[in-house]
Amino acid sequence: MRAAVETRQIRRSGFTGALFVPAANDEERFTIARDADGSCAFFDRDRGRLCVIHESAGPDALPTACRHFPRMILRDARGVFISLSHFCPTAAAMLLAPDPLEIVEAGPPLQLQEPMEGMSALGALPPLVRPGVLSDLEGYAAWERACLAIFARPDLGSQEALDCVADATERVRGWRPGTCSLTEQVDTAFREARHERGADPLAHDRALQTLRSLSNVDARDDLPDIDGFDEHWGRLFGPAPEQFDRAMKNFLAARVFGNWIAYQGRGLRSIVEWLRTCAAAVRHHALRKALALQSAPGGHELVEAFRVSDLLLLHVIDTQAFARLAMALEGPEPR
Residue spans of the domains in the chain: they are 2-68, 126-330
Please state, in angstroms and rounded to a whole number, the distance separating the CA atoms of residues 143 and 187: 8
Please state, in angstroms and rounded to a whole number, the distance separating the CA atoms of residues 162 and 151: 8
Residue 335 confidence (pLDDT) above 60: no
Residue 257 confidence (pLDDT) above 80: yes
Give the DSSP letter string of 220-272: HHT----TTHHHHHHHHHSSPPHHHHHHHHHHHHHHHTT-SHHHHSSSHHHHH
Task: Over range 45-52, report the average pLDDT.
Answer: 78
Which pLDDT does position 333 carry in this prediction? 55
pLDDT tens per residue across span 270-329 = 999 999 999 999 999 999 999 999 998 899 999 999 999 999 999 899 999 999 999 999
Any idea which of 246-255, 294-303, 326-335 has the lowest mean pLDDT? 326-335
Which pLDDT does position 39 carry in this prediction? 77
Contact 200, 276 (CB under 8 A): yes
pLDDT tens per residue across span 68-92 = 888 999 999 999 999 999 999 999 9
Q: Is 296 helix (H, G, I), strand (E, B) or coil?
A: coil
Contact 214, 223 (CB under 8 A): no
Please state, in angstroms and rounded to a whole number, the distance separating the CA atoms of residues 131 and 134: 8
Please state, in angstroms and rounded to a whole number, the distance separating the CA atoms of residues 96 and 91: 10
Please state, in angstroms and rounded to a whole number, the distance separating the CA atoms of residues 198 and 168: 8
CB atoms within 10 A of CB 130: 23
pLDDT tens per residue across span 102-124 = 888 888 777 777 777 889 999 99
Give the DSSP letter string of 265-292: SSSHHHHHHHHHHHHHHHHHHHHHHHHH
Residue 8 confidence (pLDDT) above 60: yes
CB-facing half-sphere around the CA of 76: CA atoms within 13 A = 20
Task: Over range 20-25, report the average pLDDT.
Answer: 73
Tell me the pLDDT of the chain averaged across its residues. Answer: 90
Which pLDDT does position 332 carry in this prediction? 62
* Band (201; pLDDT cuts 50, 70, 90): very high
CB atoms within 10 A of CB 291: 15
* Band (12; pLDDT cuts 50, 70, 90): confident
State what percent of residues in the chain have pLDDT above 90: 66
> What predicted TM-score, i.e. pTM, was given to this entire model?
0.85
Contact 121, 76 (CB under 8 A): yes
Q: Which one is predicted more confidently, 194 or 5? A: 194
CA angle, 285 then 291 then 293, to 5°:
105
Residue 334 confidence (pLDDT) above 60: no
Give the DSSP letter string of 127-194: PEEETTEE--HHHHHHHHHHHHHHHT-TTS-HHHHHHHHHHHHHHHHT--TTTS-HHHHHHHHHHS--
Which pLDDT does position 61 carry in this prediction? 79
Q: What are the angstrom distances between the C-alpha of 187 and each of 79, 159, 245, 273?
A: 23, 21, 25, 21
